[in-house]
Amino acid sequence: MRRMEPNETKMAKKDRRDRRRFSKEYKAEAVKLVLDEGKSVSQVARDLDLTPSAMGKWVSQERADRSNGKTGLTTEEREELRRLRKENRVLRMEREILKKATAFFAKNSQ
């Protein structure tokens, strides 16, 4: 296996595309081409200059939303899960702080 030179590594990074953001409306229209018009994910991705993996992810999410979660988590469920995980992290952190405070005050009161 050939070792890459440092400048070759930099060139490989230049080939990467910048991260793009798409509106909900844009995603919905792209997904509609696949689900409602019967085009393939790879064809729509090629036509719209998207990665097939991103397009596939959007389509899978819309299928889950349309089936009310029978094929995966709906968008609403994903948002709730994200919110609950964040809340859980905060509660664990608060519990750790209270444990340390309790130990500190118990030690000082003796």
Question: pLDDT by residue (tens digit) across 9-36?
Answer: 555 566 777 889 999 999 999 999 999 9
Q: What is the pTM of this model?
A: 0.60
Alpha helices in 4-51 (DSSP H): 6-14, 24-35, 41-47
If you search the block for the tokens 């991705």, which residue do you land on?
A: 45
Residues in the chain with pLDDT values less than 70: 1-14
Whole-angstrom distance, CA of residue 61 vs CA of residue 37: 17
CA-wise closest residue to 62 among 13, 28, 100: 28
If you search the block for the tokens 């999410």, which residue do you land on?
A: 61
Question: For 21-72, CATH number?
Answer: 1.10.10
Give the pLDDT confidence score for residue 4 in this predicted structure: 57
